[in-house]
Amino acid sequence: MIAVIKCRGDAFTRRRDLVGGYYLSVTINLKYGNQELQAIISTGRYLGEIRPNPLPEITQPEQEIINGLRQPIGAPPVDFLARGKGRAAIVISDHTRPLTSMLVLPLLIKELELGGLSKESITVVIGVGNHRPVTENEKEYLLGPLYGQIKCQHSKETGYRMLGITKRGTPVEVAEPVAEADLVIAVGCIEPHQLAGFSGGVKAVAAGAASRRALEHNHKLGTLQGNALGQVEGNIVRRDMEEFAQIAGLHFIINIVLNEEQRVVQVAAGDPIKAHRAGEVTAGAMCCVKLHEAADIVVVSPGGTPKDDTVYQAQKSVRNALRAVVQGGIIIVAAKCPEGFGDPVFEEWMNAASSPKDIERRSAREFVLGGHKGAFIAQAVNQARIFWVSDMEQAQVRKLFFEPFSSLQEAVDAAAAIKGGDARVLVMPYGGLTVPGGSIK
C-alpha cells in the first residue's frame, strides 16, 4: 500500500511505501517550453517535490485591479493622477516575463480616460532592459486587443534621455517617452530576483526602461552585497533603483503576484514603494518554502516558457536549486532554451572561457552586464554538476560547463548511476518561483 503524505503549509510532498519502508519509483512531469517532459525516478530516498506554497486565488482579478486603481496603497486614484496631465507613459514588461499587461492595460487606460487623458496622449513603453528588442508579433501578444489602438514602443527604439545621477552614481538615463511624460505608471509582476530581491515595482523603470549604461552601473552594486534573493531591507541595488525611479518621475505601479499556474493571488497598486512592499510579502510567502533536507540530486524545471526561453532566464532556477543540493551534488535542469544563451555578451564570456576559473578571474577584474550571468554559472558549477536537458546544441551546452543530455530520463538515469540507489532526490517543478529555505529579510 502506498501512502501519500502532503504538508500543504510548506508545499512539501513526501511519499512512503508502508510495506517496504520506501517508495521505490515515481513518475515526474516537468514543463518544458510549451510541452512537458516525463521521467521515472527510482531511488530508495525520494524526498518529494517542493513548489510554491499555495495561496488563495483571486476569483475576479479584473475587479481587483479596478479596486487597486481606485483605492490604491499610499497614492491617489489613477483618474485623479490623470487630471490636468498632457502625456502619460505606461511601462510594461517584455516577453521574458509572465503576461500581466493584457489583463491590466485595458482597465488602466479606461481609468486614465476618466481622468481626462486620451489614448492619443498615452504611450506604452515595453521595458526590454538588457534583453533583445521585442518583435512586432510580441508587441501584439503583449498588448492584446489594444494593439494598433495605442502607441507602443520598446525602450531600445525610443532613445534615452539623461535626467540626473543617483547618490550611488547611476546615470538616470531613461526611455524618451518616460522622460517626456508628466504621468508615469509601471505594470509588472512580483517574483524573487537575484539582485533586486524581488522583481516589479520601480524595477520596470530603473531596469526595463533604463539604458544599458544605467543598468550596468546599478547591477554592479550587487557585487557588494552578494546574492540578494528575497532580500528587501538593506538591498542597495533596490535602493538605487528606487532613487532612479523617483528622479525619472514614476508615480504609480500596478503589480500582480501570480502563482505557478499563472493565476492572480494579489494585486498591489499605488505608491511605487509602499504598494510593492505589500506585494513582496505575498510573493515571499508563496515562493519561500521550507527545505527539510538537502538532496544529492535535484531535478528542476524553470516552469516552461517564458522562463526557459533562454539560458539567461533559465539559470535563475539553477540558483534556486543550489539552495537545495549538497556540495558535490547533481542538478538536472529541463529547460528548452529555443533562443540559446539569450544575450551576446553572456555568450561571448562563455565562449572565451576554457574553465570556470577563467570566468571568475574575468569577473573579478571587471563587471560587464551579461558577463555577470557567466559569473553566476561559475559559482554554480563549483557547487554541483549541472546536467542540462534542452534543445541547444551539445557544444553550446558544454561551453556553459554543463553536461548535455538528450532526454530527461537519460539525465535522471545517469545521475542515479553516479550517486547510487540510496541517493536523496528532490524535484522542483517550478524552479523559477521556488526559493528553498528562503525568507523575506
- DSSP string spanning 235-293? -HHHHHHHHHHHHHTEEEEEEEEE-TTS-EEEEEEESTTHHHHHHHHHHHHHHEE--SS
What pLDDT band is residue 441 in, cutting at 50, 70 and 90? low
222-254: per-residue pLDDT in tens?
876 666 777 888 899 999 999 999 999 999 999
Looking at the structure, do residues 114 and 251 belong to the same domain, yes or no? yes
CATH number at residue 428: 3.90.226.30
Domain annotation covers residue 441 = no
Examine the domain organization and report whether 411 and 301 are in the same domain: yes
Domain boundary (259, 286, 313) is at 286
Say if residue 240 is in the same domain as residue 103: yes
Backbone angles phi, psi at 172, to 5 degrees: -85, 80
- Quote the pLDDT of residue 8: 34
Nearest of 293, 313, 312 to residue 302 by alpha carbon: 313
CA distance 405 to 341: 17
Grid coordinates representing 27 are: 513518475
Q: Looking at residue 1, what is its pLDDT?
A: 24
- C-alpha cell, 288: 519561500
With pLDDT > 90 as the criterion, what percentage of the chain qualifies? 75
Query: With 70 as the cut, is the pLDDT of residue 399 above it?
Result: yes
- The Cα–Cα gap between 322 and 333 comes to 12
Q: Left (φ > 0), alpha (ψ -120 to 50) or beta: where does 349 sit? A: alpha
**46 and 120 part of one domain:** no
Q: Are residues 32 and 76 in the same domain?
A: no
Residue 56 neighbours by CB under 8 Å, 6+ apart: 265
Element (H, E) at 78: helix 78-82
Mean pLDDT across the chain:
90
Q: What is the pLDDT of residue 437?
A: 85
Q: How many CB atoms lie within 10 A of CB 30?
A: 27
Evaluate if residue 296 carries a pLDDT over 80. yes
Residue pLDDT, tens place only, 77-127:
999 999 999 999 999 988 777 767 888 999 999 999 999 999 999 999 998
The pLDDT value recorded for residue 145 is 86
In three-state secondary structure terms, 143 is helix
List, in sequence order, every residue forming a beta bridge with 171; answer none if it has no partner. 165
In the chain, the number of structural domains is 2
Q: For residues 290 and 283, is the Cβ–Cβ distance under 8 A?
A: no
> So what's the pLDDT on residue 11?
42
User: Quick one: 154 and 297 in the same domain?
Assistant: no
Does the pTM of the predicted model rise above 0.85? yes
